[in-house]
């Protein structure tokens, strides 16, 4: 197992959806998977995404842009390769919820058990396949998300919800660009009275030093997506400075059109960029940016940590380095050996599955040369309906859109 001091030969016992115990003694009278000194850690938390768009393959921006409004409104390649197909899938084929399902399956097999950017197209928000931090979670719904800054009327209503305790996190795309207009969005946020400890700024690419200081003083948080920023704008957030100011910084893979294929890949980009910005970041800090720090940013401290009583959201990665932190940073989706949400095993090596269960999962898949069992019939919330199997989702999407991107590639 992976502990605060490094490797430890411990056993994680799961019971009733929670971590029951962590001990050095091998449990008796229950099935035990010997993970061969793999890395056992909390399920990863991806704090920024646009899930439905993750059915697409990577889009190669033909140039860099001043801000996100430019490519959204003016770039023909984006309209042809991304916006147009999504409009068809949404309005004509009526498959947007299925796109979100496919994206959640992609996240799951990459070790992610909670995401941000929930699909507004779910008829019932309890349908989420993995945990969505901006949908009902643990019996409460206290987060709101905005792709664009709200208008004054929306901001007034939102602030009332914050003050009454109905909302305790507000995710806002902000300052996504490199021009003055991008940094000016921070002043608009302040003018709308929406800067506080509840504020989670997504991107913040154009934030200046004094604005990062104001973010810190307000107790706000930052979610960073360096791969997408660099590909679209040729620059990214001053994350090293934010970390030095002791702002909580989390990571998000954004979306496949311009971001990373997985959160594990995004962590590698973050490490390189922080080094380029002059910060030789502690590897453990990067692990925490997608586990415990991410959970704290989301206001869900019960996630992001493995301890007795915590929800059994678990990711197991094969060992790729003698140091646990470096082993994590050397991982990609092909290293994922098991994923459980609330103790419900959704994805696991076939040999491990056979140890735990008497029957096979509903679906066997070959993932990067390894036979895996995939069970999308689990429920992220008690009210969630079972998701259709990956093969059915893929078949329906490919029938409507041949450009649907592969998951195991």
Give the residue among 170, 160, 224, 158 at the shortest CA–CA distance from 196: 170
pLDDT-derived band at 16, boundaries 50, 70, 90: confident
Q: Where are the alpha helices (DSSP H) in 169-208?
A: 180-191
The closest of 272, 267, 304, 323 to 110, measured between CA atoms, is: 267
3-class state of residue 211 by DSSP: helix
Q: Looking at residue 116, what is its pLDDT?
A: 95
Instruction: Select the CATH number that applies to the domain covering 46-298 from these four: 3.20.20.140, 3.60.15.10, 2.40.37.10, 3.90.1010.10.
Output: 3.20.20.140
Least confident of 222-226, 316-320, 389-393: 389-393
Please state, in angstroms and rounded to a whole number, the distance separating the CA atoms of residues 92 and 255.
22
B/e letters for 240-267, b = 16+ CB within 10 Å, e = fewer, are: bbbbebebbbbbbbbbbbbbbbbbbbbb
How many residues make up the chain in this entry? 409
Instruction: Say what the pLDDT of residue 343 is.
Output: 93
Q: What was the pLDDT predicted at 332?
A: 97
Domain boundaries, the chain: 46-298
pLDDT given at position 238: 98
Mean pLDDT of the chain: 92
Q: What is the per-residue pLDDT for 124?
A: 61
Regarding predicted confidence, which is higher, 1 or 280? 280
Residues 337 and 318 sit within 8 Å (Cβ to Cβ): yes
What integer pLDDT is reported at residue 63 of this predicted model?
96
What pLDDT is attached to residue 388?
A: 80
Across residues 125-135, what is the average pLDDT? 77
- State the DSSP H helix or E strand holding residue 42, giving kind and residue range, or none if neither: strand 39-42
Of 282 and 97, the structure prediction assigns the larger pLDDT to 282
Query: What are the structure tokens assigned to 249, written together?
Result: 């910084």
Mean pLDDT of 144-168: 95
Using only the alpha carbons of the chain, give its radius of gyration: 21
């Amino acid at each position: 197992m992976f502990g605060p001091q490094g490797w430890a030969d411990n056993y994680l016992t799961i019971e009733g959806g929670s971590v029951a115990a962590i001990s050095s003694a091998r449990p008796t009278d229950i099935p035990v998977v010997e993970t061969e000194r793999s890395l056992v850690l909390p399920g990863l938390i991806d704090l920024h995404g646009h899930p439905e768009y993750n059915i697409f393959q990577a889009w190669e921006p033909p140039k860099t842009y001043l801000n996100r409004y430019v490519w959204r409104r003016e770039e023909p390649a984006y309209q042809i390769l991304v916006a147009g197909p999504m409009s068809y899938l949404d309005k004509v084929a009526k498959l947007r919820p299925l796109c979100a399902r496919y994206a959640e399956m992609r996240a799951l097999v990459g070790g992610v058990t909670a995401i941000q950017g929930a699909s507004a197209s779910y008829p019932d928000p309890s349908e989420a396949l993995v945990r969505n931090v901006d949908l009902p979670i643990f019996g409460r719904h206290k987060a709101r998300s905005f792709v664009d800054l709200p208008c004054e009327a929306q901001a007034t209503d939102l602030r009332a919800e914050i003050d009454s305790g109905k909302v305790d996190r507000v995710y806002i795309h902000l300052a996504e660009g490199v021009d003055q207009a991008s940094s000016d969005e921070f002043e608009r946020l302040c003018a709308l009275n929406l800067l506080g400890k509840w504020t989670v700024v997504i991107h913040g690419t154009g934030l200046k030093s004094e604005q990062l200081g104001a973010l810190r003083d307000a107790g706000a948080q930052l979610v960073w997506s360096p791969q997408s920023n660099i590909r679209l704008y040729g620059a990214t957030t001053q994350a090293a400075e934010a970390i030095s100011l002791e702002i909580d910084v989390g990571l998000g893979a954004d979306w496949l059109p311009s971001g990373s294929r997985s959160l594990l890949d995004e962590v590698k980009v973050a490490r390189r960029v922080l080094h380029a910005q002059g910060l030789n970041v502690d590897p453990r800090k990067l692990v925490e940016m997608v586990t415990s720090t991410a959970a704290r940013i989301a206001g869900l401290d019960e996630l992001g940590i493995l301890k007795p009583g915590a929800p059994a959201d678990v990711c197991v990665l094969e060992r790729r380095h003698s140091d646990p932190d470096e082993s994590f940073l050397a991982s990609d989706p092909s290293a994922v050996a098991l994923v459980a949400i609330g103790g419900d095993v959704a994805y696991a090596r076939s040999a491990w599955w056979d140890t735990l269960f008497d029957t096979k999962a509903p679906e066997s898949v070959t993932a990067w040369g390894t036979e895996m069992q995939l069970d999308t019939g689990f429920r992220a919330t008690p009210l969630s309906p079972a998701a259709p199997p990956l093969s059915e989702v893929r078949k329906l999407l490919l029938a409507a859109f041949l450009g649907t991107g592969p998951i195991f590639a």
